[in-house]
Amino acid sequence: MTKLKTIGLSRRFLGLVAVNKVSFSMDEGEILGIIGPNGAGKTTFINLISGIIMPGEGKIEYKGQDITYMPAHERARLGIARTYQLIHPLENLSLIENVMVGSIFARGHSMREARRRAADLCGELGLKDLDRDTSKLTILEVKKMEIARALANEPEVLFLDEVMAGLNADETKDLIATVQRIARERKLAVGVVEHVMGVIRELTHRVIVLEAGELIAEGPYEEVSKNPRVVEAYLGGAA
């Protein structure tokens, strides 16, 4: 079942095209990789879908509903969640309280209920000692907290923006397994932006490739990675 779909989505900044006529869709239970060279518009694309910025043209549909210009907090309530590349834990709030925010505001749970659900979520992700100050967390724990914060929205569509960056090999493996389990159990549609191709190959069912804001290829990773245009895009970016 299609959860999310864009049609000709575009956005310019000061005349520069950041995202250009991108049409794609995501299905229930699918883990989709979003790849492309630096500056290809991946994060902008996620920002458009989550409502952090508004598109210039095109359409975004969530479960058949037009959400193109819906404010971000309403999208969060509908079931679209995301993590951020630069994670800012909320100061003055403990680990569990950070996770509670989504549960309180996106789902409207009471504080008590939100705390219970946040504790469950943290347990599921292997986070312990939940009343800790967030300044004391390890990188892996911060990443997991960020994922838990997004999951607290109880989303149906989840975007992960470079959650594996900065982790070592073991931690990456651990987090890949966690994301796969969560996606399977919750029948989530997950969009993943990653720079490490190994992670994309392991984690995703399908990828889309952006270059200079345009969608240039789409399909399983094995297939797309042999596509001459994709190779060209990456080599061009490297040269």
Partner 1 sequence: MNRTLARSLPVAAIGVAILLPMFMGDYPLQVARNIMLYMALAVTWDMLLRSGQISFGIAGLFGLGSYASILAVVRGGMPGWLSIPFAGLFAGLAAFLIGFLILRLRHTYFSIVTLALGEIFRIIIHNMHDFSGGPEGIVVQQGIIFGGASRNLYWLTLAGLAVALLASYWFEKSKVRFALTAIRNNEISAKSSGVNIFRWLLLAFVVTSAIQGMMGGIFVMSYGFASPETVFSADFTLLPLAMALLGGIHSTVGPILGGLLLGLVSEWLKLQIPYGHLVVYGVMIVVVILFMPQGLLGLARKTMRAAGRNRK
Q: Is the dihedral of CA 40, 38, 70, 61 positive or negative?
A: positive
What span, in angstroms and rounded, lies between the C-alpha atoms of 148 and 67?
Answer: 24
Site stretch for partner 1 (CB under 8 A), options 99-107, 176-184, 195-203, 229-237:
99-107
Q: Which stretch binds partner 1 (CB under 8 A): 9-17, 33-41, 104-112, 171-179?
A: 104-112
Instruction: Evaluate whether 94 touches 130 at the Cβ level (below 8 Å).
Output: yes
Residue 145 beta carbon to partner 1: minimum distance, rounded to whole angstroms: 12
Q: Is 107 in the site for partner 1 (CB under 8 A)?
A: yes
Q: Pick one of 31, 40, 96, 106: the residue that binds partner 1 (CB under 8 A).
A: 106
Applying CB under 8 A, the site for partner 1 has a residue count of 29
Q: How far is the CB of 179 from partner 1 (least distance, A)?
A: 18
Distances 26 to 19, 63, 73, 97, 126 between C-alpha atoms, Å: 18, 10, 21, 31, 28
Q: Can residue 136 be called a binding residue for partner 1 (CB under 8 A)?
A: no
Residue 100 within binding range of partner 1, rule CB under 8 A: yes
By the criterion CB under 8 A, which residues form the site for partner 1? 50-52, 71-73, 76-77, 81-82, 84, 88, 90-93, 97, 100-102, 104-107, 111, 149-150, 152-153
